Structure 1
């Protein structure tokens, strides 16, 4: 239920408050909103009278938000952001169905997106909106219909559709070593790059080569995209998923450092909440991925 209209200020008043808080003065807010200084002051005064709480004080010739005003402005900023996103979604989607999907950056870019062309051809009336998420979240709190997930089935309260297993390649820059590819023993002595979400990846890879690797050190990254840039720049060797490694090799940015493609622990899944109604758009995506 929406609150009484007397608690719903105008958009003009709210944007004035947000701009003053963000920019630090009514003068700067007026320039940002293409208004006069007096117009901004008037909007804040109207808002203050409607809320019944002091939101600003005079500071010389300017205005300064009170603690209550700053706190309220932070909430207003979230409301305005959500409203803008909702408006953009409606404008972009039009009369078509839409699906909000949380994606893993590299897997979404190199594995899912190329496959979606076939889905769009089969279902031209459905749009899939994508936003990046690298960790599990609460579907009740975040506005997503489904998500891409890597690892094991450790995300509570969701259904799982396996998409692909993890296959990796050890890669490095073309000039990383005088002679390439390296032996596993030689690679063990080289700088190695690590991904936060893949702890123990190198240890597992070396174990497959019959070597024990412990106390490995090296640069740490939170996403494959950043790590692949560091590999191409020559900072070290890295284990990249096959789909990303092959794309980088084809561009000439990296080369195999040692060995071939190997299996790694973990599976890529499409997950969606067990509770709530499942949209027609999500049902069609699930069915299409099952066939693919």
Structure 2
């Protein structure tokens, strides 16, 4: 029996994108032509591969199994074809992440990822706006929040520890008691899940909320402000690991109270996890996360 190669390729495009219209755009055909090819393939296989759901499609159990079996092979055929043509195979990976994570954690590490995977062209969108995966071409998002997003794959990036920090020129390591911080200007990151009133209360510090303060709507701005000697910030060691490791930030409070939270989450539709480029990126993110966690045992910035 002759293989229905065209129908298989059309099914692969639709299953990968999760949309008949997106597959049609990719293949430069009409949506009805995509539907006809998939129906033809279903007829030959004797099973239903996908069903429409709103503006997208959802794979049946048979469709899931079939896509998993053919996806890697079709990508290899595509790579081989482009290689023989003399073209460099390029795969675009679209990542969305919060501005602070993009600037402070992701960007300093990206060279290792790009050097290891020259076939991947990376686009990073730094924003706090959550992705509408049905409308936007985003492969993976690292989202700030509480991790409760039904219907999506959600994995915590890492548990973060929030501590008071400042420039070493502002105050020395462990030179202050918890109550002393209220005598200084406090830097607030207004969208952070860890706020000064909580830290002060849990540290047993009475306060009347009349502390001198400066407020920023992005944590990376609060971190930079602390580096510049503006005051004392309450921030995540995950986000300011570089400034801490380079000695540009220290914890001025002796034996500081720490707030432990997971605030950054890997988020995407579950069907995106089948894509090779997504698997590669997530494996790299997890390896970088594990390497960072292995180094957090020693904290020379805390007395």
TM category (shorter chain) comes to: 0.5 to 0.7
1:143 to 137, 144, 147: 137
1:107 counterpart residue number = 101
- Distance in 2 of aligned mates of 1:209 and 1:195: 19
Q: TM-score of the superposition, structure 1-length normalised? A: 0.57
Partner Cα distance (2:280, 2:265) in 1:
16
Name the CA shift for 1:237/1:274 in 2 (closer, same or farther; >3 Å).
Answer: same
What secondary structure does 1:234 align onto?
coil
CA–CA separation in structure 1 for the residues paired with 2:245 and 2:109: 19
Looking at structure 1, the residues matched to 206 and 184 of structure 2 have their Cα atoms a distance apart, in angstroms, of 15
- Name the structure 2 match of 1:166: 160
Structure with the largest fraction of strand: 1
Aligned residue in 1 for 2:31: none
1:196 matched to 2:190? The reply is yes
Pairwise CA distance, 1:256: 1.9
Counterpart of 1:284 (choices 280, 283, 298) is 280
| Alpha-carbon distance change, 179 to 253 in structure 1, aligned in 2, over 3 angstroms | closer
Which residue of structure 2 lines up, in the alignment, with residue 126 of structure 1? 120
Give the alignment partner of residue 228 of structure 1, picking from 223, 227, 238.
223
8 A Cα contact 1:232 1:253, kept in partner: yes
Q: Indicate if the aligned counterparts of 1:170 and 1:237 stay in contact, CA closer than 8 A.
A: yes
Deviation at 1:232, TM superposition (A): 2.8
1:213-292 alignment, distance < 5 Å? 213=207, 215=209, 218-259=213-254, 260=256, 262-274=258-270, 278-290=274-286, 292=290
Q: Aligned runs of 1:29-68 on 2, under 5 Å?
A: none
> Is this contact kept in 1: 2:189–2:218, CA < 8 A?
yes
Q: Which moved more, 1:126-135 or 1:248-257?
A: 248-257
Count of residue pairs brought into register by the alignment: 202
Could you tell me whether the CA contact under 8 Å between 1:168 and 1:264 is conserved in 2?
Answer: yes
CA distance in 2, matches of 1:113, 1:140: 27
Is the 1:160–1:271 contact (alpha carbons within 8 Å) kept by the matching residues of 2? yes
Show the counterpart of 1:79. none
Q: Deviations over 1:218-259 (max 9, x none)?
A: 221122222123223332210122144442245454332214
SS at match of 1:205: helix
Gaps of 5+ in 2: 1-20, 25-86, 291-303
TM norm structure 2: 0.55
Any stretches of 5+ residues in structure 1 without a counterpart?
Answer: 3-92
Q: Measure the CA separation in 2 of the matches of 1:186 and 1:229.
A: 22
> Rg bigger for which structure?
1
Q: Hey, what's the Cα distance between the residues in 2 that align with 1:227 and 1:148?
A: 20
